[in-house]
Structure 1
Amino acid sequence: MSSGRESGRESRQEGQQRSVVLMFPGTGAQHARMAAGLYGHEPVFTRAADAVLDLLGPESGAVRADWLTREPAPPLDADDRAAPLLFAVEYAMGRLVESWGVRPAAYLGHSMGECVAAVLAGVLTLSDAVMLLRERVRAQRAVPPGGMLAVAATPAELSGHLGDGVVVGALNAPRHTVLSGPERALRAVERRLAADGRTSRRLATRTAYHSPALDPVARETETLLRTVRRAAPRRPLYSAYLARPVREEDVLSTRFWAAQPTAPVLFWPTLDRLLGDGDRLLVEAGPGQSLTVLARGHRAVRSGRSAVLSTLPARALGPEEDRRAVRAARARLAAEGLLGAPGHSGVLPVDAPVS
């Protein structure tokens, strides 16, 4: 998807500073002990992660224990572990980066990462976002088993594989499409794709996110959302469900927020719009490097006008590697002149209410 905003800007002016965009991955990015090397070592990260986990109520201790152990009791592809732990790690990473004095120009979340982005942008309070997360997880328990399948193909090439509840759940790149649907139907699609010689990979989830299978979840949470206060973002929040920044009418729409588990994630069109709006340093503030890998394929990054930076290793490599990755990310931001004085960047303290 090309944009007129990009014409004549194929090279960045010498000395021109990129603006920072914080990106947050979605379900499937989680892995055992993700960012665990930062917990208890980085105070801001630790306080922020605890702020999320403590809002889980009686389950908080078990969720924290499963995060920090090498062999969690419920596997991390279970909704009641993947969702809260991803949220906690991503929120904590976002707060950590901002504590360095980084003032993001915008936020972008993939799937569940959009809720994290909405909190940091000031649209949702942390307590309301975690309440919404908990209610979605609870409602998902009644949804039949399903899954998601990443395929190296365009949506048009996969049109013959859709149906029987299987839909396009995400458009991550021009030839990186995610299918979503009920377990039995998705397995049949997986077999047909293999027979056709197409490369596919299961994502680490047991739920058919971004498909009609989650319509009951959307209906339940729409009622809840009528009680949730929402505010205009303090900084632009690019929605991967709209492929543009959210507007006031989006923020106020209960349907927009409720329907996110059923709506397709338009990550690539949103990234295209975001990079067309300016030269960026995209900072992936979450586990793994899935969004980093996708963004590296965009022509704005390949040309050098924009760049991408991960803050954590691609997989669990031990506490020291988590810390090394964070040090490297901070050094890169410093080298680009993007670190302000901590406490003077307009960033709220980690335990401040967000409204």
Structure 2
Amino acid sequence: MTRSVALMFPGQGAQHVAMAAGLYGRDAAFTATMDEVFARLGPRGRELRSDWLGRGGAADARFDDVTRAQPLLYAVGCALGRSLLELGVRPGALIGHSVGEMVAATLAGVLDLADGVELMLDRMDTLAASPAGSMLAVAASAAELEPYLRGEVVVGAVNAPRQTLLAGPAAELARVRADLAGAGITCREARSRQAFHSPVMAPFVAEAHRAWEGVPLRAPRIPVYSARLGAPLTAGHARDPRFWAAQPAEPVLFWPALDRLLADRDALLVEAGPGQGLSTLARRHPAVLAGRAAVLPLLPARRRGPGDDREAFDRAVLRLREEGHAPHAPDVVGAAPVHPGSQGR
């Protein structure tokens, strides 16, 4: 029996300059979606596009800020998802990490892309005004970390049984990090300048709620396994603006959501985003280790040039076809690929 496809969309931390840009100017659906997002972002979109392609000399460190990472991760996730849909892939489930859940909601029809871009603009402005914060990836379970939490430092994400993300004000998190290092617990700073999924974000929920109230929200047409809930997204939650507005202040339960997804179905887990962070996590799941599920990233773990994106994507499409998916030939843009650093549009 053919395994269903489950698309996984990464969140903050996966971003980098020129992520997936090797498909820009080559894959029609990907290019059209990126251009639509940039156009809807207005003048900020032109600047963001230039930085994304590496034309402004932007360093990866700039991409750690919400004003770069979030809209680009949203755009790239939607563009990759649409590319697969154009190839005839019909996903049986979607799952997203943090802002990746907004991508999943968009592709599932909970909200339109145009509204998603407007919400990303609001998210950029609202969350960029939040106090400086930080996030810390720790090789320990959430339960093991409870004694080390202090102040507003909380568990921001449960990514795997022993892969936990802490979040909170930078100074408090630095003290927690020192305590963890003293106890011999491995940890590293995550790529974020904001303390997402912590109480630091709570004061901004009310403002975000106003933006979400003006957006038509629908029940998902494709099952979404919500990392906000750690369970399937219900029609009630999908239509509730308060659910979405509170998301940046609530923990990400990626592993519980993935666990439920793989309990419900055998799946080919396709990571539709930069890097292979979610693929690395998913490969640890018992269903994958037992061979009932498999993992397929669309993009390379480390990108060295535009050719890497294209080669990884083409290999993934071939694998999808071998498993009975992606029946349509890709629609290739007639113009030459747009390389980072090149001149042109």
The TM-score bracket by the shorter chain reads over 0.9
Q: Distance in 2 between matches of 1:241 and 1:224?
A: 19
Structure 1 gaps of 5+ residues are 1-15, 344-355
Which residue in the other structure is 2:144 paired with? 157
Q: CA deviation at 1:340?
A: 3.1
- Match of 2:166, SS state, is strand
- Match of 1:168, SS state, is strand
1:24 counterpart = 2:48: no
Residue type matched to 1:327 in 2?
Answer: D
Alpha-carbon deviations, 1:280-329, whole Å to 9, x = none?
Answer: 00100000100000000000000000001000011221011110000000
Residue type matched to 2:39 in 1?
Answer: D
Q: Distance in 1 between matches of 2:281 and 2:134?
A: 21
Alpha-carbon deviations, 1:52-107, whole Å to 9, x = none?
Answer: 12111111111000000173167111111111111111111111111111000111
**Where does 1:314-353 land on structure 2 (aligned, <5 Å)?**
314-341=301-328
Q: How many residues align structurally? A: 328
Which residue in the other structure is 2:209 paired with? 222
- Match of 2:188, SS state, is strand
Which residue in the other structure is 1:307 paired with? 294
Which residue in the other structure is 1:51 paired with? 36
**Where does 1:246-325 land on structure 2 (aligned, <5 Å)?**
246-325=233-312
- Match of 2:63, SS state, is coil
CA contact (8 A) 1:21 1:107 kept: yes
Which residue in the other structure is 1:127 paired with? 114
Q: Distance in 2 between matches of 1:126 and 1:37?
A: 22
Which of 30, 37, 58 is residue 22 of structure 2 equivalent to?
37
Structure 2 gaps of 5+ residues are 331-345
**Percent of counterpart pairs with the same letter?**
52
Q: CA deviation at 1:278?
A: 0.9
- Match of 1:324, SS state, is helix
Q: Distance in 1 between matches of 2:251 and 2:155?
A: 7
Alpha-carbon deviations, 1:137-162, whole Å to 9, x = none?
Answer: 10112211001101000111111111
- Match of 1:261, SS state, is helix
Which residue in the other structure is 1:72 paired with? 58
Q: CA deviation at 1:342?
A: 6.6
Which residue in the other structure is 1:196 paired with? 183
CA contact (8 A) 1:149 1:180 kept: yes
1:212 counterpart = 2:199: yes
Q: Distance in 2 between matches of 1:81 and 1:308?
A: 28
Q: Distance in 2 between matches of 1:186 and 1:100?
A: 44
Residue type matched to 2:160 in 1?
Answer: A
CA contact (8 A) 2:230 2:256 kept: yes
Residue type matched to 1:92 in 2?
Answer: A
Residue type matched to 1:25 in 2?
Answer: P
Q: Distance in 2 between matches of 1:201 and 1:41?
A: 36
Q: Distance in 2 between matches of 1:108 and 1:252?
A: 17
CA contact (8 A) 1:122 1:234 kept: yes
Worse overlay, 264-273 or 68-77: 68-77
